[in-house]
Structure 1
């Protein structure tokens, strides 16, 4: 994650959205946006239960543990009027899966999810890890637009910038999703489904994007 200032920011004309790498100090705000934006995802219902507040709390704890344990993960943020409204986690090539040391760092926070949720999260993440491609790739995720702003085009602005960076460096990208609407969304940016699996009884899709022509 970028620890500097606002270098690399990309304002998008006409949208009022600025896309840039987030500073380490912005991690708490990023955790909140991700937790709210992903609270009702099917896999989170299966992992954390039916109580919305419990899901919000549990997923915030999981994401906080992940981002703290994996400082190499970059956070691409979209802001509007100075307020963070969307976040994309971007793991550089060869860093997408947590190392044993990083998993150990995450363990205390996972334990606090409770035995049932912790076991389900472990089963879920193990399945995702088994589908991770062996080829060098940039791993995209988590990706979230704040709950009350979903459907307003912010995710499109964020993904355009992610894809621009991929094409600039000619790197493949990969992601997992548990929502059919997301499959259609990512397909617009060149991601193609390369696998499917049931995870905690929820359909999941695994998608890859090949490098495309360089953007001007």
Structure 2
């Protein structure tokens, strides 16, 4: 598929198998030094653990039970969970692997989940699992471009879009896309401040 930019508007499309290696690389690099993953994934072999964690979220959960869009052949990628399919079978299958990847941070991961869970939508919603733009592709509008299809599809279906971020800079970025902060949680065990944000359907 021709990935040319049309009047500098990025081409965004659903992910294909050919995009997986670049997309995993984009996600791995974006989250190698992210406050939340630093808190919940073991320091030993951290970057490789983060890569494997993101690969599972992308290929075993997002691509099977959710929706994934890419731009620039995977140099920007957004992974959504949707209410249309129940990902429980995938979590049951990959849960032990995710547990191994957290390593000695397993308790921190579980306490973080417990702290944020009450702030998540109780009704069906689109949940932004993960999004990233590779460093060399930043500043071209790819981050917002790759998110818009999911935000729009959630809205058309009458569902809120929901996300969590542990970066204050990201909060302002998401606010420009119409999200509002619904909770700010300081994670237990010395964890980072994490913002819950949602965008309701019009």
1:33 maps to 2:32: no
Equivalent position of 1:3 in the other structure = none
Cα deviation, 1:39-88, whole Å, max 9, x if unaligned, reads 2211122223667xx33211111122233442112111112xxx321111
Match of 2:76 in 1: 86
- What's the offset of the Cα at 1:24? 4.0
C-alpha separation between the residues in 1 aligned to 2:3 and 2:122? 31
In structure 1, the gaps of 5 or more residues are 1-5
Partner of 2:140: helix, strand, or coil?
A: coil
Q: 1:162 aligned to 2:184?
A: no
Partner residue of 2:121? 133
Q: CA RMSD in A?
A: 2.8
- Aligned partner of 1:124 among 112, 120, 132: 112
Question: Quick check: 1:45 aligned with 2:38?
Answer: yes
1:145 is aligned to 133
1:136 is paired with a residue whose SS is coil
Q: Residue 205 of structure 1: CA displacement?
A: 0.6
Q: Deviations over 1:99-157 (max 9, x none)?
A: 2x333311342244263133333333444434321112111120111133334321122
Deviation of 1:174 (Å) = 0.7
| TM-score between both structures, scaled by the size of structure 1 | 0.77
Q: Residue 118 and residue 11 in structure 1: after superposition, are their counterparts in 2 closer, same or farther (change >3 A)?
A: farther
Aligned equivalents of 2:102 and 2:65: distance in 1? 28
- Distance in 2, Cα, partners of 1:107 & 1:169: 29
* Cα distance in 1 for residues equivalent to 2:83 and 2:176: 23
- In the alignment of these two chains, the number of paired residues is 198
Bigger proportion of residues as helix = 2
With 188-197 and 140-149 compared, the bigger mean Cα shift is at 140-149
Q: Is contact 1:48–1:117 with CA below 8 Å preserved after alignment?
A: yes
Structure 1 partner of 2:51? 60
